[in-house]
Each structure stands twice: as structure tokens, then as C-alpha cells.
Structure 1
Amino acid sequence: MQKKVIRIIGVPIDLGADRRGVDMGPSAIRYAGLNARLKGLGWKVEDYGNLEVPVPETREIKDKRLKYLEEIVTINERLHLIVSEAIKEGVVPLILGGDHSLGIGTLAGLALSEKSFGLIWFDTHGDYNSLDTTESGNIHGMPLAVANGIGAPELTSIGGVKKKLREENTVIIGAREMDPQEKELLRKSKITVFTMRDIDQVGMTEVVKQGIKIASQGTDGIHISFDLDVIDPEEAPGVGTPVAGGITYREAHLAMELLADSGRISSMDVVEVNPILDNHNKTAKLAVGLICSAFGEQIF
């Protein structure tokens, strides 16, 4: 990966989830030293600042099956244009969340550019719910389905192209908690899912190598979407939806180091850091370390 410009885009959104706090994620990650660390690796850093996002207390939930739909559409409409512009300028967009509903805008922006992309989605959850399958109405559980053209038209139409990703170039790594109907939809798709059992059985190295191969076939680059809840809560306590039994600190870094070695990363988002639930900004510091590993920081 040729070092050039990274454009940091903060999206302090927590409208997509029930639990408050991830709106402070971009600030926590910046406070943990992200910009300086990236500059130290030889990258030029352009910090775009944060998108303006309303707080939930100033809005009403009009449909409990799609909470804060209008607001989330508006934010992702703005985000997709910013991401698309970065790709067209040859800049690497790095989006800081916020909850994972921002993935709708990120993937729409990538699809709007002339470049094709593979996708590796590090997440405890499948994020493949829709209006028909959601049990919570939380849109942060829907972005991958929306990007594949499944869900409310208001969401799938962002960017003007209903289907934003290639299923055969899409990989989920670290899944360990999914709704029954969500599992069934993913089984019917061409998306590759590596669960925690797969990582336990064959190791993170083999899983990531297979993931890179799948996401690279016929694409110009790989987008990494990293939800910090994929990591075990012992290592990353400050996340919106913690689930026991996640990947370890070293497995997470190894995955990023292997992706850096591939030279294929073209964009990245890092989501669901919740400082309210954290311990001395531990999770945000981990997020910074993982981002730096993805962008070339090495042990030796």
C-alpha cells in the first residue's frame, strides 16, 4: 500500500442503537492519539472533522421498526458524498463512528465511485437484518443488508444504486451472535461468513488470508469495516453491544497486519466505540492501535 493521504471523517451517530454513548467514539479515538500516530507512519492526514448529527433527545421515533429513519437517511446521504469524493481524489477515507448504521453511507459512497471494492466486515453480528426481520428496530443492525439491496427503500436508495456490494467479494469475520432469520438470509446469499468457531479451528491467519483472497478477486481494493465489538469484552469493554467470546487483542492486530501486508486496503471505518462504558479510554486506544496496524505499523 503506497502511503499517501488519509482523510479522517467523524460520524458521531448513536441514532442507530438503543444504548447511548457511541456518539463520543470519534472524539475518544482522536483523543487516543490517532492523527499523530498515522503521521508518524508517514501518512499525510486530513481531518475532515465531524458530520453534524442530531442527538436522540431532540427527535421522535416515528416507526419503532425503523428507529430514527429520516435522520439516519439524512446523515448517510451526506456521508456517501464525502466518501465518494475522497475515493475519486485518490484519498483513503477513514470513517470514525458512531454506530454501524454509518456503514450505509460509507458503502454507498464507495459504490458511487468508479472503483470496485471487496468488503471485509469484522463484527460479532451479521448486520443483515431488515424491516422484515429486525427484533429491535435498530438500524445499526441493518447496514450490510441495506448495502445488498435489502431493506427500506429510503435506505437502499441512498447513492442511487440499490445494490452496493458484490456478495461474492464480501466477507464477515468474527460472527458469534445473529438473529435466526438473519442467519437464514446470509446462508442464502453468496456472502462468506467466518464465525468464531472457524477462527478457533483454523486460526486467524488462515481466515484472513481466505478473506483477502475472496475480497480481492476482480476488485480494485478492499474496504475494512471494523466493529470493536468483534473483540472480546475483556480487551474492549467500551462497545455498544458487548458479547463474550470474541477475538483476542493479538488476533485483531494480526488480522490488521495481514491486511496491511496485502497492500489492498483502500478505505476503512471503525465503529461502536462507547467511552461511557470504557475503562480509561482502553477501547479507543485499542482502536487507534488497530488502525495503525492496518496502515503499516509493524512490531519490528
Structure 2
Amino acid sequence: MKNHKSTPPYFWKGRHADTLQYWHQKVRCVEDFNTEFTIDNQCIALLGYAVDEGVRRNQGRIGASLGPDGIKSVMGSMAYHLPQDIGIHDYGNIVLEDGDLEEMHALTKRTICQLLEKGYFPIILGGGHDLSFPHGSALMDHMQHSNLKLGVLNLDAHFDLRPLTNGMTHSGSPFLQLHKYATEKNIKLKYACMGIQSAANPKSLFELAKNHNVSWLTSDSCHLFHFDKTVDFLEEFLEEVDKVYLTIDLDGFSSAFAPGVSASSPMGFEPRFAFQVLEILAKSGKLVSMDVVEYNPNYDIDQITAKLAARCVEYTLRKIYE
């Protein structure tokens, strides 16, 4: 596959054990994307989106292209608590070699569509948040004949509803693009955000969000105190949609917990709040795909942001299978 690199098997490493105890023992690196597997139970597909051209276009800090490998490097040592009869396949990374971000979006969309057709639960590791356009549009294409409504829940400090720049996509535009795509394809879409920071979104974006029927909770409301407000928000969202695509932008967390991101802020939610949200989504039975984006190893401290990203994935999956 053009602009695709497989993950070497030795990349997944951790403590030795004679029985299945850790993720590195379970993950299978797939060199040939067309390899067919018999899926007796649900299979999880990991795919890296090693692209930060969208971040550069959006005037963010470069380095998110290193994010997928940075996250994978800490996942192998995680203790394994998922069912033994599911598969976890690492399909390597999509990489940008010539600056053509639009071509990468087309490739990423086709790849995710293939994963969905194979019956996988895709987990995409970014990379810039522009990933959400090919990821979300792939889900729409997969669902377009089902008459189901797709819900997109974004844990993020930003709406990412900005218009294209000189006609080009970027990390701040994916959800405006998804709204346009849904309209063109006549697909029902509900977009909701949690963690929105007023200082990071001008009034024009709040107005745009209202015009597109976006639901949101500001960062000031995203805490464990009065968590009933969050529960009400999520229940209303889940009641309105049939399937959910979860996207986690790590800059929604406070920089105290996630310094290694493209756009850090001392404000933001803490992991305990986010994990309560992840548990509700995981147990809803509607979650069909997820990604974690904007990890930038250049600004991380002792890999704590990478570990947070990995734990978001592990915790969500663990709660799905409980």
C-alpha cells in the first residue's frame, strides 16, 4: 500500500510471561494489509496516522507525526485484561511523504473502510485532528444504506469547525467538513463536544456551532463535581444517535496531565473525568470506532502523555468487554 509502513514485530515489547499477561504478547503486526483472518469474536485494528501536515496548516506545533509510534511504544507493557479470544492487529502507520494531505485523507478513508468491511473495531492513533474527516466520512460511507444516525463525540478544547484555508483542509476544519459531507450524502449526523474552552474558540465558532446544531459542554463543566450534568448530556446524545464515533484530542486534558500535545493549555479536564465519560460510552453498546489524536512526543515529559493516550484506549476497550 502506498504511503503505508508496517510496524516491526519487535516494536511491541514488555515484561516476559509464560501466559498471556501483557499487550505485547497479544498484538499481531500485519505486514500485508490484504491478509485475511477468520474472526470468531470481535477483532481490534490499530492503525497509526503519522501525519501532522494538517497541524502545520493550522499553525500548531509540529511533531504529531511521531505520535502513533510514541503511543505504541508504551502500549506493549500494559497488562492485558481483555478476552483472550479477540484479535488485536497492528496495521502499521499511514505516513505523509510528499505533502499531499488530501491524498492522505483519501488513503486513510479507504483503509478505514476496509477495516470496517472486515468487521474490525478500528482504533486510529494520530497524528493531527484532521484525521477525523477521513475517519468520520469512512463511517458514514459504511453506514449510508442503513438509515442509522451517526454520533460523533469529540473530547477536545476546540470545536474544530473552522473553514478551509485557501481551499485546503487542516486540523481545525474536520467537523465542518463532516457536516458538509453528511449533507451531500444525505446521512444523519449529530456532533457533540466536551471540554470546549472559551479562550480557545472565538465567538464566530460558537455561532457556527449553534448553526450546525452542535451540542457542547465547556471545560468549566467537565469535572467530577456535579457529574450528573455530564451524565444528562451524554444520555441525551446517546438517545439521539444509533452509532458513536469517539475522538479524543489530547489537548482537551489539562497540560498538567498532557503536556505533549500540539496545543497545550493549563486548563482542561483531568483523566478521572474523561475515564468516567469513556465508561459510559463503552457500556452504551453504540461505540463502533475511536481515535486519539494530537500527541506530540517533542513536548512530552517522561512519556506521561503517551501513557495517558494508551490508557484511554485500554480503559475504553476493557469497559466494552466487562
TM-score, length-normalised on structure 2? Answer: 0.76
- Which deviates further from its counterpart, 95-104 or 39-48? 39-48
Q: Does 1:49 align with 2:78?
A: no
Which range moved further: 137-146 or 282-291? Answer: 137-146
Letter in 1 for 2:296: N
When structure 1 is superposed on structure 2, of 99-108 and 40-49 the one drifting more is: 40-49
AA partner of residue 15 (structure 1): E
1:252 aligns with 2:290: no
Change (3 A) 1:106 1:294: same
Distance in 1 between residues matched to 2:121 and 2:186, nearest whole Å: 19
Match of 1:64 in 2: none
Identify if the C-alpha distance between structure 1 residues 165 and 173 changes in structure 2 by more than 3 Å, giving closer, same or farther.
farther
Assess if the C-alpha contact under 8 Å between 2:253 and 2:270 holds in 1. Answer: yes
2:274 pairs with 1:274: no
2-side partners of 1:23 and 1:130: how far apart?
Answer: 23
Q: Does 1:191 align with 2:214?
A: yes
Conserved in 2, the CA contact under 8 Å of 1:196 and 1:247?
yes
Q: For 1:203 and 1:21, locate their aligned partners in 2 and report how far apart those are by CA, in whole Å.
A: 36
- SS of the counterpart of 2:283? helix
Instruction: State the 1:199 CA deviation.
Output: 2.6
- Given the alignment of the two structures, is residue 131 of structure 1 paired with residue 172 of structure 2, yes or no? no
CA deviations 1:191-250 (Å, max 9, x no partner) are 11111233359744542552254244351x211000000000001110000122100121
Displacement after TM superposition at 1:85 (Å): 1.9
Percent sequence identity is: 24
Residues 252-261 or 75-84, more deviating: 252-261
Comparing 289-298 with 118-127, greater Cα deviation is found at 289-298
Alignment-mate amino acid for residue 216 of structure 2: V
Aligned match of 1:173 = 194
Change in Cα spacing, 1:277 to 1:256, as seen in structure 2 (3 Å) is same
Q: Deviations over 1:29-49 (max 9, x none)?
A: 100115x64854124101111
Alignment gaps of 5+ in structure 1: 60-70, 150-155
2:69 matched to which residue of 1?
Answer: 27
2:312, 2:288 → 1: CA distance?
Answer: 16
In the alignment, what sits opposite 2:110?
A: 81
In structure 2, the residue matched to 1:122 is 155
**Corresponding residue to 1:217 among 240, 255, 266:** 240
Counterpart in the other structure of 1:153: none
Gaps of 5+ in 2: 1-39
Give 1:279 deviation, angstroms: 0.5
State the 1:184 CA deviation.
1.2
Aligned residues: 270
Q: Report the CA distance shift for 1:222/1:196 in structure 2 as closer, same or farther (over 3 A).
A: same
CA-to-partner distance for each residue in 1:62-110, whole Å, 9 max, x for gaps? xxxxxxxxx1210110111111222222210111100101111101100
**Deviations 1:150-197 (CA, angstroms, capped at 9, x unpaired):** xxxxxx5xxx97458644x32111111213322211111211111123
Contact 1:216 1:222 in 2 (8 A): no
Check whether the contact 1:133–1:182 (CA below 8 A) recurs between aligned residues.
no
Deviation at 1:21, TM superposition (A): 0.8
Decide whether aligned partners of structure 1 residues 15 and 203 sit closer, same or farther in structure 2, where only a CA change above 3 A counts.
farther
Counterpart contact for 2:253–2:271, Cα < 8 Å: yes
Q: In 2, Cα distance between the equivalents of 1:106 and 1:246? A: 25
User: Equivalent of 1:261, from 274, 283, 299?
Assistant: 283
Give the distance between the partners of 2:227 and 2:263, measured in 1 at CA: 22
Q: 1:17–1:138: 8 Å Cα contact kept in structure 2?
A: no
Q: Distance in 2 between matches of 1:225 and 1:3?
A: 24
| 3-state SS in 2 of match to 1:113 | helix
- Matched with 1:229 is 251
What displacement does 1:119 show?
Answer: 1.1
Amino acid paired to 2:88: V
Q: Which residue of 2 aligns with 1:242?
A: 264
